[in-house]
Structure 1
Amino acid sequence: MGLIKKRKKKDEPIKEEKSAVDEVFERRKRIKADFSFRKSQPLLFIAAIICALITIGCAYYFSPTSKVKSIRVTNNYYLEKDYIKNLSEITLDNRYYLVVDYLVEKKLEESELIKNATVRHKNQGVIEIEIEEETPFGYRYLEQGELLLTNGKSVPLASEYLDIIAKVPYIDGFETEEQLLHIAKAFQKVDRNIIESISEVSQYSMSYDENTIRLFMRDGNNFFASYYSLEMINSYNEIASDFIGNGQCIYSDESLKVAFTSTCPWDLVAEEKEYWLDELGNIVVNQYGDPVEKKYFTDDAGNFILDGNGQKILIPIGVEDDYEAYIASQTGKTE
């Protein structure tokens, strides 16, 4: 179809008029353009918001108010606050909202002396670090200095831990892995303030228990216990309050669940034991493989019974209860 040329008058310019079809297409173009504009309006709005947020975020990030204002360390006892802050790698130059609690907690828990760590964002730009420490019970020197923990582990005695050794005793012995685990487990039930009152822990073999533990206290007294009765040292201050002077020895009784004072083992008079010998000079042993000790007759008061020559009367092997006749034959006395 196209444009229709129409001349109204002579020499008048020819006007081009649009057909109905062209008007329809142009109207559709205008509607489409209007629809596209309306459709893009939410996107333009979102883009404007994003730009505004970025602008505000940048302004906040580079402002002093975005930084951490304070780092608070709580529940620590053995570890210094500054040491824990250095482990966390948080400084006052960090951005408050960019500190990720979980990542800081994992970083802190890499330390062998930190059992658990909890990091919190508090008000006014404060980051709080709460820790749960492993408990050291002593230190020792083998090939190198070591800090011993109640979880059974030993930690190299680094310079950061030197202040801790003033709060725990020196451990002498217990060098095998089994012994270390036993002593560590025993100290799990000992109060922290009692551990601090112990100067040295060592092994002291007794006749009834070769694994006896000797604890030399800072006040000069001694406490003897087994792996299973060490917990009773928690009552030490009550027991020692009745002492006059120092150098006392206290023993814990696992079966009776009590502690008592007695003569120190090094003050006991060593009793020399005699054993039966066979014809070849070898010590006679019983059915259990134990050496057979020589015994002497005593009276009801515990005094030795003497023969006619004033000598103690030896109880023969196999003679137990019925030995009156034997005594009479040795002393020359009869009923």
Structure 2
Amino acid sequence: MENGKIVSIEDRIPKLKLQRKKKANRRLIMLLLLFFLLIAFIIYFQSPLSQVRAIKIFGNRAYSVKEITEIADITDDTNLWKVKGKNIEGKLNELPEIRGADVRIQWPNTVSIEIKEYKRIAYISKGKEFLPVLENGEVLEKKKTANLPLNAPVLYSFSEGEPLKEMIENLEKLPPEVLNSISEIHYTPKKTDAYHISLFMNDGNEVSAIITTFAEKMSHYPSILSQLKPEQKGTIDLEVGSYFKAYEQSEGAEPSESEEDRKEE
């Protein structure tokens, strides 16, 4: 109080007025900014800018881009905000040949879909058609083909049952380089062994084996092959131990043992 008059704080402290004014301006700016952002969002959401402009699909072999986009139910008219990645992944994962799917939104208007598929490890011969067999053991009845497959071994004379099941399980355990070297696998059961098979290799050799020990013994095929002369072709017997018999060898001659067989002894 000065000379009997009451002096306000604002008059005594001018800086306080200035601070309050600055606070009020900041609030106004924030409100205006939020207002314009909301308007911009509404305009973007309603405009073609928010629609999917590109769909990128990676890793697909068994299914075409068209098939995947139809299953995902995405078109150029789809609003980006309506793309539900988890729902699309669930639909794609229901397909027998897809092991996993990853859907991502890339702003401003792109949908990326990465596909991971099960590998086809063999084909089953059914008359004049071939049924793919996946690495998880599933046989694709609906994906049969009349063309002779060249990218996986073909199983002949197999029918539904334990031998086929064990054959697929053993193929899953083979190293890729060994699996890719097999052309045909024929189910040739004997009176003494219901699990006997005969293989025809891409290199011209034949293999006689038993399904139950097939994966374990066949994994040594590259090592056995390295001990043979490149021009020498014949039958490699893996039923008991392992030995090689050349095609030109006479019936009465003793088969030559491989080093692998000597190691087992």
> 2:234: which partner in 1?
248
8 Å contact 2:197–2:211 — kept in the other structure?
A: yes
SS in 1 for 2:164: helix
> 1:174: which partner in 2?
158
Whichever residue aligns with residue 48 of structure 2, its letter is S
Counterpart pick for 1:262 among 245, 248, 251: 245
> 2:185: which partner in 1?
201
Query: 1:163/1:172 Cα in 2 relative to 1: closer, same or farther (>3 Å)?
Result: closer
Say yes or no: does 1:183 pair with 2:149. no
Distance 2:118 2:75 in 1: 25
Query: 1:229/1:102 Cα in 2 relative to 1: closer, same or farther (>3 Å)?
Result: same
Distance 2:205 2:244 in 1: 11
Instruction: Kindly state the Cα deviation for residue 113 of structure 1 after the two structures are TM-superposed.
Output: 1.1
SS in 2 for 1:64: helix
Say yes or no: does 1:106 pair with 2:67. no
Instruction: Kindly state the Cα deviation for residue 200 of structure 1 after the two structures are TM-superposed.
Output: 1.0
Counterpart pick for 2:206 among 222, 230, 243: 222
> 1:5: which partner in 2?
none
Query: 1:179/1:58 Cα in 2 relative to 1: closer, same or farther (>3 Å)?
Result: farther
Distance 2:147 2:35 in 1: 53
SS in 2 for 1:129: strand
Question: Which runs of 5 or more residues in structure 1 are unaligned?
Answer: 1-45, 270-335
8 Å contact 1:222–1:250 — kept in the other structure?
A: yes
Distance 1:222 1:61 in 2: 67
TM-score by length of structure 1 reads 0.52
- Larger RCO of the pair (alpha carbons < 8 Å, separation 6+): 2
Whichever residue aligns with residue 223 of structure 1, its letter is V
SS in 1 for 2:238: strand
8 Å contact 1:169–1:199 — kept in the other structure?
A: yes
Distance 1:57 1:192 in 2: 54
Question: Which runs of 5 or more residues in structure 2 are unaligned?
Answer: 1-30, 253-265
Distance 2:203 2:70 in 1: 37
Deviations 1:195-248 (A, max 9, x none): 333211112345763422222112221123222332243443443344333642
Instruction: Kindly state the Cα deviation for residue 124 of structure 1 after the two structures are TM-superposed.
Output: 5.4
Structure exhibiting the larger radius of gyration computed from Cα positions? 1
Whichever residue aligns with residue 131 of structure 1, its letter is I
Distance 1:79 1:85 in 2: 14
Number of matched pairs? 217
Root mean square deviation, CA, Å: 3.8
Distance 2:72 2:233 in 1: 46
Say yes or no: does 1:120 pair with 2:91. no
Distance 1:104 1:164 in 2: 34
SS in 2 for 1:111: coil
SS in 2 for 1:165: coil
Whichever residue aligns with residue 177 of structure 1, its letter is G
Map 1:265-280; keep pairs closer than 5 Å. 268=251
Deviations 1:103-137 (A, max 9, x none): 11111122111122222234554433333322322
